[in-house]
Chain A
Amino acid sequence: MTEDGRRLFLAYNVRSYGVSPRAWLSPQLTGREIFTADYWSRITRLAEKGLFDAVFAGDSSQFLGFNRIDIDGVDRFVAWASVVPHTERIGVIVTASTTYNDPYRLAERLLSLDLLSDGRVSWNLVTTFAEDAAANFGLARHPERGLRYRRAEEFAEVVVGLWDSAGDGPAVAHRGENFTVSGRLPLPRSPQGRPPIIRASSSDEGRRLAGRLAAAVFDSALTVTEAQERYRKVKSDARDAGRDPADLAYLPGLRIVLASTTAEAKARVDELFTQDPITRSEHESWFGGLIGANVADLDPDKPIPATVLEAATAAATADRDHLRASTLRVLADGPQIPLSEHLLRTRYLSGGHGTFVGAPEHLADRMEHWFRSYAADGFVIAPDLVTETLPILVEEVVPLLQRRGIYKHEYAASTLAGHFRAAAGRLSEVSA
């Protein structure tokens, strides 16, 4: 434990077989594992052995296309419910959209899974970013961001009201802009009080909801300075809402390519980039989107024109797209290198998430540095290869973190809410 009693929170992002589009090609896999209960429980049991606080998976309400098996369509409730009987302490984080669900149904499903797991469930509240999902739900178009966020706030109010009605709490009588719901959930109260809510956004609108209702914020931050700034904002949101900042954990995502040596890890990324034409073209298309220009139109041997970067930064600022803005800042502040070199380097940027490519010792350094500098209360770790990476984390990285006094030696709590509380730092401990 650290001097101030904080403990690093770790969640493992089981993004199908991994973030890498070639993850399914691993010789350890048949490629059909995601459809089996065994896969999900095998990963989760191993993560539990490494005292991970939770497993996590994102979600999507549409078919993402033929080159995307990184976010599969496996129903998250079903997958995590099948894991629960085979585990005891590790939490499960269910991602569910407020745009394409109904609040009563979702409140019922989350509380049911929470009861079945004796208090190990958390809801990762998303509003769905992908536009094509609308066509699967009878909508002419995906609701714009403002509408989605308003609906999300009302949705969360209703869900929390229903959770509070459980046991012998007061019945809900809600009539709002999006929902009319009355009644109670005929279930016992959650062993956690309420299943903790995670808000995966640090935009202003997302933060308001998080400050009032969430137990954790998932975020993406590229640099430690940026993360520290967000950490302080998130903690003040909790304080402003009359809550203890320690009740709101700040958890940036961390994409990792982990191997015994840095050279080996880098080679894995390079190989992916050079050998998988889809990865390369998707990356170029992502990079083009980031700088707001078609990569093929620019001279690969020259630096990105300043005008292009300025326009892109202005557009990102106008859209309040801080993820994009901060990535652009990293590009603008870096050395003036040719576009082709940028493309090679940004392989490691992973669309705005903090990225690590290297060996266990360095990963422990990276996490410890961020944790001790109040840039994070913990991390949501997304590996390029799920099955290859987890044993290294459990057997090599976790012992390093334990020796450095920032990671637990046993679970201190039996609920996921307890795991969150053990991790989150207070605002007063942050030097401004």
Chain B
Amino acid sequence: MGKRHGRHIHLGLWLTFLDAADWRNPDSRAEELNSLAPYVEVAEIGERAKLDALIRGDGLGLPLPSPDQAYAGSLEILTLLAALAARTEKIGLIGTASTTFTEPYNLARTLATLDHISNGRVGWNIVTSVAGEEQFGYDQIPGHEERYERADEFIEVVSKLWASWESDAVLVDRENGVFFDPKKINRIDHHGKHFHVAGPLNIARPPQGRPVFVQAGDSDRGRNFAAEHAELVFTAQRDLEKAQAFYRDVKERVKRQGRDESRVSILPGLVVTIGATEAEARELHDQFLARIDYERTRTSLEALLGGIDLSDIDLDEQVPEERLPEAATLTRQPGRAQIFVDLAKEKGATLRQLLQALGTAHGHGRVFGTPRQVADHIERWAEAGAADGFAISPAQGLAGARLFADEVVPILQDRGVFRREYTGSTLRDHFGLWPVS
């Protein structure tokens, strides 16, 4: 067993298979971006390695490790996860869905069904969306605060819907010919600022009670939201000290909510490049950096930083401080923007370095090295109180996922910090979470 509270490290795997910077390579399988087969392969790799979960972001929400999210594919996530549920048995399935652009009744149904057919393996990555207003008939995206306010009420409504069937409401009493117990299925009659929902839901309570709540918001408001609701927290952290501070801060906020902070897992993203030797890994990493499309990535950075203009800055110059926005005031992704503002201000990063941080990892941490070095990095951060595990994004695409599963995971298992076998069957089991009352 690991030393951290006697608990194991948790590892999620981003459900992507393309190396973002290398999709032009003839064997990248970029043509299969929106078909089932490569995702089944990723899922099987993850399950074979006994990873906790597959994690799928949303083109409308959580940023992916690529600046151009098209490289991640655009299949509707919960439908894709439903297909993968039929091809896997144990691995968790974490999907992203927006509280800004969906109806609580519909989403509650979808997630409950997915939890049923996967036997309790679903996690909901709750996003308030950073884009999508044009597709959904808004003139402009609702503000940060308003989106979170709606999200709070949304979570209240879907939670009530999932609880509208008591866990033993499905009787199947053949003798008396009673399928449901009418006393155990109740209306919710929710009347709030954003939603009016009568209920009950039209499907039985999901096996996990409700999906595991996952949240990725680095802003102050996002952290409070996570402290209140989340059981898993995703975050972008590049720096051990900052990660430790984030970790302490979120756990503290969780405690202040009266919740058990040891039952909330914090998983920074980690972009991983693996080589047989350190030199080979470094070379692969350098190639990875060299393939960045700086022009395109600069456009993404300008947008992330609130629409500033960086076209006149040389790649090896620093961004003048007065051009950098007050990240906290941005409508979209203030927490993520903060990472780049900090990199520029505190670390004196050049524009090239900023673009590398965005272009390869979208602000997430990166590590390259031998399998042992990668395992060391993971264990070191966990021991240092900076992470309960990681959301792994292999830089080398499908081959990288295989390397991670076959080379890195066994080292962590040998060290006793990662499971050799699944000991439970639900996502809640994998993360050691409390059952939902």
Chain A residues at the B interface, C-beta cutoff of 8 Å = 22, 24-25, 30-32, 35-37, 40-41, 60-64, 66, 69, 72-75, 77-79, 81-86, 100-102, 104-105, 108-109, 112-113, 115-116, 118, 132, 135-138, 179-183, 185-188, 276
Choose the segment among B112-120, B232-240, B280-288, B367-375 that binds chain A (4+ C-beta atoms closer than 8 Å). Answer: B112-120
The proximity string for B residues 404-426 relative to A, scoring 1 for CB distances below 8 Å and 0 otherwise, is 00000000000000000000000
Contact B179 A73 (CB under 8 A): no
Closest to A179 in B: B137
- Which A residues lie within 8 Å of B179 (CB)? 24, 31, 66, 69
Contact A181 B134 (CB under 8 A): yes
Q: Check if B294 is an interface residue, CB within 8 A of chain A.
A: no
Q: Check if B279 is an interface residue, CB within 8 A of chain A.
A: no
Closest to B200 in A: A63
Contact B101 A135 (CB under 8 A): no
Q: Which of B56-104 contact A (CB under 8 A)?
A: 59, 70, 74-76, 78-80, 82-83, 85-87, 101-103
| Bound complex: CA A19 to CA B339 (Å) | 57
Contact A35 B117 (CB under 8 A): yes
| Bound complex: CA A81 to CA B118 (Å) | 12
Min CB–CB distance A158 → chain B (angstroms): 10
- Which B residues lie within 8 Å of A186 (CB)? 59, 70, 74
Contact of B74 among A66, A74, A79, A187 (CB under 8 A): A187
| Bound complex: CA A132 to CA B202 (Å) | 12
**Pairs A-B, 7 closest by C-beta atoms:** A73-B202, A31-B172, A81-B82, A135-B198, A73-B203, A75-B113, A112-B76
- Which A residues lie within 8 Å of B101 (CB)? 102, 104-105
- Which B residues lie within 8 Å of A185 (CB)? 74
Min CB–CB distance B347 → chain A (angstroms): 34
| Bound complex: CA A74 to CA B203 (Å) | 6
Contact A83 B197 (CB under 8 A): no
Min CB–CB distance A88 → chain B (angstroms): 12
User: A25 with B174: in contact, given A75-B113, A186-B59 (CB under 8 Å)?
Assistant: yes
User: A78 with B113: in contact, given A25-B177, A115-B75, A137-B105 (CB under 8 Å)?
Assistant: yes
- Which B residues lie within 8 Å of A276 (CB)? 177
Contact of A78 among B75, B79, B137 (CB under 8 A): B79
- Which A residues lie within 8 Å of B35 (CB)? 115-116, 118
Q: A85-B87, A116-B83 are in contact. List 20 more A-B contacts (CB 8 A).
A: A32-B170, A32-B172, A35-B204, A37-B118, A61-B202, A66-B182, A66-B185, A69-B180, A74-B113, A78-B78, A84-B83, A85-B40, A100-B103, A102-B102, A102-B136, A112-B80, A113-B79, A116-B35, A138-B195, A187-B34
Contact B134 A78 (CB under 8 A): no
Q: Name 9 interchain pairs, CB-CB below 8 A, sorted by A.
A: A78-B117, A84-B36, A100-B105, A112-B75, A115-B75, A132-B198, A138-B197, A180-B137, A185-B74
Closest to A62 in B: B202
| Bound complex: CA A77 to CA B85 (Å) | 13
- Which of under 10, 10 to 19, 20 to 34, or 35 or more describes the interface residues of B? 35 or more
Contact A63 B201 (CB under 8 A): yes
B182, B198, B200 — which one has the most chain A CB atoms within 10 A of its CB?
B198
- Which A residues lie within 8 Å of B34 (CB)? 112, 115, 187-188
| Bound complex: CA A244 to CA B84 (Å) | 39
User: A181 with B117: in contact, given A77-B82, A116-B83, A136-B198 (CB under 8 Å)?
Assistant: no
Closest to B103 in A: A137
B34, B35, B170, B202 — which one has the most chain A CB atoms within 10 A of its CB?
B202
- Which B residues lie within 8 Å of A109 (CB)? 76, 79
- Which B residues lie within 8 Å of A100 (CB)? 103, 105-106
Contact A85 B102 (CB under 8 A): no
Min CB–CB distance B130 → chain A (angstroms): 15
- Which B residues lie within 8 Å of A105 (CB)? 101-102, 136
Contact A136 B199 (CB under 8 A): yes
Q: Check if B144 is an interface residue, CB within 8 A of chain A.
A: no
Contact A75 B74 (CB under 8 A): no
- Which B residues lie within 8 Å of A86 (CB)? 86
User: A30 with B36: in contact, given A75-B114, A82-B83, A182-B134 (CB under 8 Å)?
Assistant: no
Contact A81 B170 (CB under 8 A): no
User: A66 with B180: in contact, given A81-B83, A115-B75 (CB under 8 Å)?
Assistant: yes
| Bound complex: CA A431 to CA B185 (Å) | 54
Min CB–CB distance A72 → chain B (angstroms): 7
| Bound complex: CA A40 to CA B113 (Å) | 12
Closest to B75 in A: A112
- Which A residues lie within 8 Å of B300 (CB)? none
Contact B109 A116 (CB under 8 A): no
Q: Check if B135 is an interface residue, CB within 8 A of chain A.
A: yes
- Which B residues lie within 8 Å of A101 (CB)? 106
Q: Check if B196 is an interface residue, CB within 8 A of chain A.
A: yes
- Which A residues lie within 8 Å of B202 (CB)? 60-64, 72-73
Contact A183 B134 (CB under 8 A): yes
- Which A residues lie within 8 Å of B172 (CB)? 24, 30-32
| Bound complex: CA A72 to CA B174 (Å) | 19
Closest to B69 in A: A186
Contact B78 A61 (CB under 8 A): no
